Amino acid sequence: MTVTPVHKLIGARIEELNIAHDTDSDVVSQLWSLIQRYDLLIIPDQRLTDEQQIEFSEQLGPLETTKPGSTGAGTKLVTLSNLDTDGYPVEPSHRQNLIRRANQLWHADSSFKPIPAKLSILSARQIPDHGGETQFVNMRSVYTALPNHEQEKCDGYIAIHDFAHSRKTVDPNLMTDEERAAVPPVRQPLTIDHDEHRGRSLYIGSHVSRIEGLSKHCSQQLINRLITFSTQDKFIYSHHWKVHDLLIWNNLTVIHRGTPLPDPLMPRVLVRTTIAGDKPLIDCE
Residue 270 sits in the site that holds ligand OGA (CB under 6 A): yes
| 83: DSSP letter | B
Residues 116-135, interacting with ligand OGA (CB under 6 A): 120, 122, 134
Compute the least distance from the CB of residue 152 to ligand OGA, in Å.
31
**Window of 44-52, 103-111, 155-163, 274-282 that interacts with Mn ion by CB under 5 A:** 103-111
Residue 109 sits in the site that holds ligand OGA (CB under 6 A): yes
Residue 245 sits in the site that holds ligand OGA (CB under 6 A): no
- The closest alpha carbon to 23, from 51, 47, 58, belongs to 58
Residue 81 and residue 96 in contact, taking contact as beta carbons nearer than 8 Å: yes
- DSSP secondary structure, 31-63, as one string: HHHHHHHHSEEEE------HHHHHHHHHTTSPB
Residue 77 sits in the site that holds ligand OGA (CB under 6 A): no
Residue 60 and residue 279 in contact, taking contact as beta carbons nearer than 8 Å: no
Q: Which is nearer to ligand OGA, 144 or 231 (CB)?
A: 231
Compute the least distance from the CB of residue 209 to ligand OGA, in Å.
19
With CB under 5 to 8 Å by kind, the binding choice for 159 among Mn ion, ligand OGA, none is none
Q: Which is nearer to Mn ion, 123 or 219 (CB)?
A: 123
Q: CA geometry: angle at 280 spanning 66 and 163, to 5°? A: 45
With CB under 5 to 8 Å by kind, the binding choice for 209 among ligand OGA, Mn ion, none is none
Separation of alpha carbons 285 and 282, rounded Å: 9
Residue 80 sits in the site that holds ligand OGA (CB under 6 A): yes
Separation of alpha carbons 277 and 120, rounded Å: 11
| 169: DSSP letter | H
Residue 191 sits in the site that holds ligand OGA (CB under 6 A): no
Compute the least distance from the CB of residue 137 to ligand OGA, in Å.
13
With CB under 5 to 8 Å by kind, the binding choice for 186 among Mn ion, ligand OGA, none is none
Longest dimension (CA), the chain: 55
Q: Which helix (H) or strand (E) holds 149?
A: helix 148-155
Residues that bind ligand OGA (CB under 6 A): 80, 103, 109, 120, 122, 134, 256, 258, 270, 272
Contact footprint for Mn ion (CB under 5 A): 109
